[in-house]
């Protein structure tokens, strides 16, 4: 499985990072200290999280598509959606993959609850030859905007779908021609009240479907800024220790704190929620598994 490696000088330009692939790692590589220090110096000059989001994703130039007539700028959406609503119980139609991706045989990454889509678009733009990228999101306005951005950027290796992942993942992924090599569930809706925990995206049925469809050596990345949600996700994936091993047990490049949470972001880019949470002083709890 191909991994991501950063190749940067001590003082890289603000929106151009040299990236390359290597077969020396089975996972996403950690960001080196010079790049972390450079980003920190930039972030210190921006005190509002929207500014930090724009900085993090500056090289996508998405602001170019915010102008009059685009109708895709800052959309108003409901923060939380009830996935058990009758409008979300039917699985989505499987697309014609050869119409969605220019090469549907490439390994697939699925981002469950992809939100605005910037995170996945960044990966698709910077690493076009390694994978196809599929974003599943339950808020349709965000999907429409993400697809508009994909079209404007001319990307042929990424697609967003309006879908309830708990229902549709098992329906979609087995129909994909290539292998499933990476699944990410990053800062999902917390649904704090105990009676609403059944609305959380990580349920046993989804975990079992991810494990079943993930290729050997494939990986799962989980993260949340809410400890209770992170623990819930961790416990459910830990329950499949028969086939899933935490990444620090397989790769010495990944280290954890005393509670078993990853100390570094393995993805090379932060999600919008991650940016907002860190600005507020919250800890981001991360786990990463590999199928063995």
* Residue 174 near residue 102 (C-beta atoms within 8 A): no
Is the dihedral angle over the CA atoms 238, 263, 60, 107 positive or is it negative?
negative
Secondary-structure breakdown of the chain: helix, strand, coil percentages, each rounded to the nearest 5: 35, 20, 45
- Measured between alpha carbons, how far is 120 from 135 in angstroms, rounded to an integer? 7
Say what the alpha-carbon torsion angle 85, 176, 101, 99 is, to the nearest 10 degrees: -80
Catalytic residue status for 189: yes
* Cα(141)–Cα(29) distance, integer angstroms: 33
Three-state SS at 48:
coil
Active-site pick, 64, 111, 189, 242: 189
Contact by Cβ (8 Å): 226, 190: yes
The enclosing H or E element of 181 equals: strand 180-186
What letter would DSSP give residue 153? H
At 178, list the tokens: 């290539």
Cα Rg, the chain, nearest whole Å: 18
Asked if 287 and 223 count as a contact pair (C-beta separation under 8 A), the reply is yes
- Asked if 202 contacts 233 with a C-beta cutoff of 8 angstroms, the reply is yes
Tokens of 141: 């306005």
Residue of 168, 146, 150, 165 lying closest to 93 (CA atoms) = 168
Catalytic residue ranges: 189
């Amino acid at each position: 499985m191909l991994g991501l490696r950063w190749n940067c000088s001590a003082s890289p330009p603000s929106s151009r990072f040299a990236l390359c692939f290597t077969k020396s790692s089975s996972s996403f590589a950690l960001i080196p200290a010079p790049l972390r220090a450079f980003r920190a110096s930039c972030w210190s000059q921006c005190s509002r999280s929207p500014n930090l989001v724009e900085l993090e994703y500056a090289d996508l130039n998405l602001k170019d598509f915010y102008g009059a007539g685009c109708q895709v700028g800052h959309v108003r959406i409901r923060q939380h959606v009830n996935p058990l609503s009758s409008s979300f119980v039917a699985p989505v139609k499987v697309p014609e993959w050869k119409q969605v991706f220019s090469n549907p045989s490439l390994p697939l990454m699925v981002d469950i609850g992809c939100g605005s889509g910037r995170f996945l678009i960044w990966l698709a733009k910077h690493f076009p030859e390694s994978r196809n990228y599929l974003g599943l999101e339950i808020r349709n306005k965000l999907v429409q905007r993400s697809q508009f951005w994909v079209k404007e950027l001319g990307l042929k290796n990424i697609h967003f779908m309006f879908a309830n992942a708990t229902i549709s993942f098992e329906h979609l992924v087995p129909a994909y021609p290539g292998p499933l090599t990476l699944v990410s569930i990053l800062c999902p809706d917390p649904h704090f009240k105990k009676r609403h925990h059944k609305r959380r995206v990580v349920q046993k049925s989804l975990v079992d479907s991810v494990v079943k469809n993930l290729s050997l050596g494939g990986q799962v990345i989980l993260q949340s800024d809410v400890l209770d949600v992170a623990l819930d996700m961790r416990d459910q994936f830990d329950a499949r220790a028969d086939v899933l091993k935490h990444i620090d047990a397989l790769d010495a490049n990944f280290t954890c704190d005393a509670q078993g949470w990853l100390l570094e972001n393995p993805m090379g880019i932060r999600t919008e929620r991650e940016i907002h949470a860190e600005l507020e002083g919250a800890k981001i709890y991360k786990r990463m598994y590999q199928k063995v």
